């Protein structure tokens, strides 16, 4: 399941080591994201593991360590739901900026599956659960694998 305009990507993860890093907040939605990412990684042939962190704010540091410890890519999954304070904006910006920095500093892919939502229903609609319209966990894992393969080709000089 893909959102409107997002590509359906067939990926081959053979030989790749991927770490899913997922927040614990909003566990029904996050568990759906994890299931979607897991389906893609299993089907791709990638070797993968799962690490849980408290929330989306903690995703960048855990992703950084996973990449430093030999992962070829990480899939960052989390849920941030808007509330009545600026906390939503602070955490959303910190997670997005932090994960971007991790990818650039490591030169390795970070599949971005952090949902920023106005309400819980939006998350349920995007988590790949029965009845969901989208599967953002699947999309994040597919993007991580596809980017890892592109980077391998570029580094080996075989990209065309």
Task: Say if residue 48 carries a ligand binding annotation.
Answer: no
58: annotated binding-site residue?
yes
Model confidence, pTM: 0.92
What pLDDT score does 3 carry?
Answer: 52
* % of the chain at pLDDT higher than 70: 93
pLDDT at 94: 95
Do the annotations mark residue 85 as ligand-binding?
yes
Instruction: Give the per-residue pLDDT at 12.
Output: 87
Asked whether residue 2 carries a pLDDT value surpassing 50, the answer given is: no
Predicted local distance difference test score (pLDDT) of residue 84? 83
1 pLDDT band (50/70/90 cuts)? very low
User: What residue spans define the domains of the chain?
Assistant: 15-154
How large is the average pLDDT for residues 131-153? 95
**CATH class for the domain made up of 15-154:** alpha beta
Q: Using one digit for the tens of pLDDT, what is the confidence trace for 54-74? A: 999 999 999 999 999 999 999
Give 70-127 pLDDT, tens digit per residue: 999 999 999 999 988 888 989 999 999 999 999 999 999 999 999 999 999 999 999 9
The answer on whether 126 is annotated among ligand-binding residues is yes
Q: Can you give the three-state secondary structure of the chain, one letter per residue?
A: CCCCCCCCCCCCCCCCEEEEEEECCCHHHHHHHHHHHHHHHHHHCCEEEEEEECCHHHHHHHHHHHHHCCCCEEEEEEEEECCCCCHHHHHHHHHHHHHHHHHHHHCCCEEEEEEEECCHHHHHHHECCCCCCCEHHHHHHHHHHHHHHHHHHHHHCCCC
Q: Which residues are catalytic?
A: 87
Residue 152 counted as an annotated binding residue: no
pLDDT digits (tens, 9 = 90+) for 7-18: 556 788 899 999
């Amino acid at each position: 399941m893909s959102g409107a305009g997002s590509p359906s990507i067939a990926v081959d993860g053979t030989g790749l080591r991927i770490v899913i890093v997922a927040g614990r907040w909003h566990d029904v939605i996050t568990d759906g994201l994890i299931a979607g990412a897991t389906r893609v990684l299993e089907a791709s042939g990638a070797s993968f593991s799962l690490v849980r962190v408290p929330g989306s704010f903690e995703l960048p540091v855990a992703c950084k360590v996973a990449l430093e410890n030999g992962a070829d890519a990480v899939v960052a999954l989390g849920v941030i739901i808007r509330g009545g304070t600026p906390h939503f904006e602070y955490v959303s910006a910190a997670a997005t900026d932090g994960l971007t920095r991790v990818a650039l500093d490591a030169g390795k892919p970070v599949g971005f599956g952090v949902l920023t939502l106005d309400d819980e229903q939006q998350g349920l609609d995007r988590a790949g659960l029965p009845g969901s319209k989208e599967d953002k966990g699947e999309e994040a894992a597919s993007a991580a694998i596809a980017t890892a393969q592109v980077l391998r080709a570029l580094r080996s000089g075989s990209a065309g």
